[in-house]
Amino acid sequence: MKESPTINRGATVAPRFIVGDSIFDKLSNDQQVNLVADPAKLAKVLKYHVVPGLYTAADLLDRLFLKTLEGQRLRVWSDLSELLGESELLGEEEIATGSDALNYITQDTVTPALRGSIKINGAHVTQANVHADNGIIHVIDKVLVPPFTRL
């Protein structure tokens, strides 16, 4: 059986917005040096990537903002609903029925296209719902920097 990844053993259960090492390479050399040279600033940036609570991709779609361990909020949205109609968003043709049963079933459906359109402060979620021992990881494509923090 494959073990779940662990995020900071002993930490509380919380989703993390994780960026790969290659994403940190997108920061300039000066920004990387400044971040590593200032442990308090590095801790602030890392805490800005952690949200108390347990949120799957479907849960993220029900939120506008998430408060981070750093204390500030992240904005959550999906840009797919602005581009497509609801039937395309669900990945199915519209089906006319005489009841609300189909709407009840599909209202909580999160398709891969919808999951792939989730943004956190402008960063795309590239991989969602990676389960770890003490949380859920959502991989994003850029480093989140708290407001009023200069790297």
What lies within 8 Å, CB to CB, of 69 at 6+ separation is 14, 47, 48, 50, 51, 52
Residue 44: pLDDT band with limits 50, 70, 90:
very high
Chain position carrying tokens 């407001």:
147
Angle at 130 between CA 38 and CA 39, to 5 degrees: 5
Total of domains in the chain: 1
Residue 150 lies in a domain: no
Residue 151 lies in a domain: no
Question: Containing domain of residue 128, as a range?
Answer: 16-140
pLDDT of residue 63: 83
Residue 91 lies in a domain: yes
Mean pLDDT calculated for residue range 113-132: 85
In this structure, what CATH number is given to the domain that contains residue 97?
A: 2.30.180.10
pTM greater than the 0.85 cutoff: no
Residue 145 lies in a domain: no
Is residue 97 within 8 Å of residue 91, measured between CB atoms?
no
Alpha carbon distance 48, 123 (integer Å): 13
pLDDT digits (tens, 9 = 90+) for 56-68: 888 888 888 999 9
